[in-house]
Chains A and B, each alone.
Chain A
């Protein structure tokens, strides 16, 4: 379980997260929506400690992420993250992109790492691209590669930060399909997205961010179809 308790995050003098409370159960899919600049990405970065927090607590499976003694490299094995930019390692083949972290971080042998990588690449539909270099692939394919690369660590949680926002429209579908696949596998996910219908149809709950606070959170269909707060209504009518 991921729990955020009164999390505050500042960049210099600017408070970007103003007391976030959120808990995500095992197996749950939560979508996070909200205007650009409202702190959605920052929250994800704080969950796996790519950013520090100033107050509050983030607890993942009982471990206080921002406590001094927490081994972050160990923690991050359990939390996969995929970014808006696909960040393929350009000097490595698709197979090596995925096998690198299992080798380095999990200490797998080369053969083991390759078989894990191959399995995950097949899972996201890139089984025929193993020896290709990522710059030869489309954005959608590279984003699926990034997903496979994170899955190869066999994480318990996956964080997605607008993974379709940098894609050409015709490539969005294949990546969203991959997320659906993960949902069906039972993966616990926090998905920051602008794809409102995806949020409605695929997630269990949706959280609406506004200027560093969770303005509204609720069951997905209900929040999207019948938002209670005025700001949520406004936001949803603007993006539709």
Chain B
């Protein structure tokens, strides 16, 4: 009886080394989210700009982006991961997950960026141009700062969402925080402890983002 209990505890106990394993999983989440958020934001800004200047882009690019925004991420991941090899382009889980997540992020950011550009009154842009500024000077020194301030909260929402959604990349077998926790739960049968720790990890990753943007927002308040 007592040996059996010991054996179970030995088998299933949560150990300090498991924390390290979770931390490595968190590392996976950080890497894939950081790439997706940064590259996706840059792409998304370009897309958003295109949407705002051209009706043609709005129809074509706009509908492509709509697909990325509306098809569930998990389906995009599985389709992309399983179909590329058929085309003779084998990709690993990390590459496939990153690429899909980048475009997913870009599709969401494009709407935010377009909103930011459209938040700048056309008369303000006319004022900038009437001072002799070029199109790109107006974009760089007026539209970007004014628009960014208008949509920073929305962008923060996208970034935090992507951070959490990156957990779905685990369906491809990429080991990130959620996947690492599932492996541990299976082994230890201690979901409560592990999921609590994982929750704390996600919080620790999100908190700096929301804190940083909240501080920017405060600094940028027009008063």
Contact = CB atoms under 8 A, between A and B. Distances in A.
A50 B130 contact: yes
Contact of A100 (B141, B222, B223): B141
Interface string B144-160: 01100100000000000
A87 B223 contact: no
A80 B142 contact: no
Interface of A: 45, 48, 50, 73-74, 76-77, 79-81, 83-85, 87, 89-91, 100-101, 104-105, 133, 135-136, 146, 149-150, 153
Given A87-B121, A89-B142, A76 B222 contact: no
B146 A89 contact: yes
A140 to B, nearest CB: 17
Contacts, number: 70
Interface in B108-166: 121, 123-124, 126-134, 137, 141-142, 145-146, 149
B220 interface: yes
A89 B126 contact: no
Contact of B132 (A45, A50, A101, A136): A101
A83 B127 contact: yes
Given A84-B123, A104-B137, A105-B132, 12 more contacts: A45-B126, A50-B130, A81-B126, A85-B121, A85-B123, A85-B124, A89-B124, A89-B146, A105-B133, A136-B223, A150-B131, A153-B132
- Which of the four size classes fits the interface of chain B? 20 to 34
Contacts of B142: 89
A90 B126 CA distance: 15
Given A89-B124, A146-B127, A104 B222 contact: no
A76 B146 contact: no
A146 B145 CA distance: 19
Contact of B141 (A84, A87, A104, A153): A104
Interface string B164-180: 00000000000000000
Contacts of B149: 90-91
B102 to A, nearest CB: 29
Q: Which of B124, B149, B220 has the most CB of A within 10 A?
A: B124
Nearest to A50: B126
A91 to B, nearest CB: 4
Contacts of B220: 91
Nearest to B144: A91
A135 B222 contact: yes
A81 B123 contact: no
Contact of B222 (A48, A91, A101, A150): A91
A122 B172 CA distance: 65
A54 to B, nearest CB: 20
Contacts of B222: 90-91, 133, 135
Contacts of A73: 132-134
A75 to B, nearest CB: 8
The CB with the most chain A CB atoms within 10 A, among B121, B130, B137, B142, is that of: B130
Contacts of A153: 131-132
Contacts of B131: 76-77, 80, 100-101, 105, 149-150, 153
A91 B141 CA distance: 10
A147 B15 CA distance: 70
A48 B130 contact: yes
Nearest to A105: B132
B223 A80 contact: no
A60 to B, nearest CB: 13
Q: Which 4 A-B pairs have the closest CB atoms?
A: A101-B131, A87-B127, A105-B132, A81-B130
Nearest to A104: B137
Nearest to B126: A50
23 contacts: A50-B130, A76-B131, A80-B130, A81-B126, A83-B126, A83-B127, A84-B123, A85-B123, A87-B124, A87-B127, A89-B142, A89-B146, A90-B149, A90-B222, A91-B145, A91-B146, A91-B222, A100-B141, A105-B137, A135-B223, A136-B223, A149-B127, A153-B132
Given A133-B222, A135-B222, A83 B123 contact: yes
A89 B138 CA distance: 11
A83 B131 CA distance: 12
